Amino acid sequence: MFTIDKTKSHSFRTLTIVTETPLPLLIEEEKGYRAREKTLVNAPIHFFRIRPTKSFLLLQTLAATGKLFFDGKQLACDFFSRLKLKYRIDQQEDTRITITPHLFDSRNEWKLIDCDLLLSGSPHIMIKGQILRCIDDDVVWSELQPQLLSMNEYEKWKEDNEYQIELQRAPQKSHIEPHPLLLLTDRTGAFANLLMDYNGLQKPFSSDPLETCYENDLIESGFQKKEVATSQYYCSVDKAFTAIDFLLDVGWRVFDSQKREIMRLTDLHIAVQQEDALRITGSAHFGEEELEITDLIQAMKRKENYIP
């Protein structure tokens, strides 16, 4: 298991991995760090500090193992789509100006100070909850820091950054951003088609630049582009559930072959009463849907991942 250590990553200002079974690359990175910092090279290694130039490649390698964790939870990693940067400008009562960087994509926006961890690299990395995302390649590290400026400082900052600010504002587009839909074409989830939803209008995936990042997500999850009968994508049956779980993690909507939307288990209520025997009652919640606990138990006995 490979765990990103939040505290040490902040204090050392570098990606810091904790693991019991290190890869050779991790060992070489930690040895190099100790040599550069002139610390004890032969001291026992308990954690591994990674150079920013190597962090992206290493995170891709560790994510492929399915054992990359942060704050005790497995990370869902999106290495293809990029988050963009914009600023929020607020004037304080003492006339000073607060400049707060925000990261955004077509669906979500995050204030940087609300992110769980920012890592310098090429590209820079953001972690929020169980999601790891990459930041646009054009964003430099200094632009990710909030600032408190006087009016004179702000006027100079605005003048110096006028071109960059225009590039970094949330784009005002006349067209609608697409949202990905995965339509499974069989009961195992191994065969699927990729659709794009434009504010209720659904169309098949095309090579439009706005859509290609979503096909990259699909391939990163474990599907491959393979035309079989009426399906355009295929994933081996033993990996399909994990792939669909990853896509749900990064905000996709997924539908089964009967066009029913796949919903995650969101809450579980269980009550136990002792009579002549133990009586267990309760309910399982999937979004707004509610099922009796017996339905969930029967599905688990059958080793099924889905409940219709």
Query: Taking residues 265-270, what's their average pLDDT?
Result: 85
Query: Taking residues 40-68, what's their average pLDDT?
Result: 80
CB 182 within 8 A of CB 247: yes
For residue 191, the model assigns a pLDDT of 92
171 has a pLDDT exceeding 50: no
67 φ, ψ (degrees, to nearest 5): -130, 35
Q: Pull the structure tokens for residue 177.
A: 């951003």
Identify the weakest region by mean pLDDT among 13-27, 102-116, 158-172, 175-189. 158-172
For residue 175, the model assigns a pLDDT of 56
Place of tokens 């099924």: 304
Identify the weakest region by mean pLDDT among 23-27, 51-55, 123-127. 23-27
Q: Pull the structure tokens for residue 40.
A: 């004890």
For residue 169, the model assigns a pLDDT of 38
For residue 44, the model assigns a pLDDT of 64
49 has a pLDDT exceeding 50: yes
Q: What is the CA radius of gyration of the chain?
A: 23
CB 61 within 8 A of CB 23: yes
E strands of 124-198, at which residues?
A: 125-128, 131-135, 147-149, 179-184, 191-198
Q: Does the pTM exceed 0.75?
A: no
Q: Quick one: pLDDT band at residue 168, thresholds 50, 70, 90?
A: very low
Distance CA 139, CA 122 (A): 10
158 has a pLDDT exceeding 80: no
Alpha helices by DSSP H, listed for the chain, are 6-12, 24-37, 52-64, 151-160, 162-168, 209-221, 237-249, 293-301
Q: How far is CA 175 from CA 22, 58, 214, 304, in A?
A: 48, 37, 18, 41
For 70-116, the pLDDT digits (tens) are: 988 888 888 888 898 888 888 776 678 888 888 888 777 888 888 99
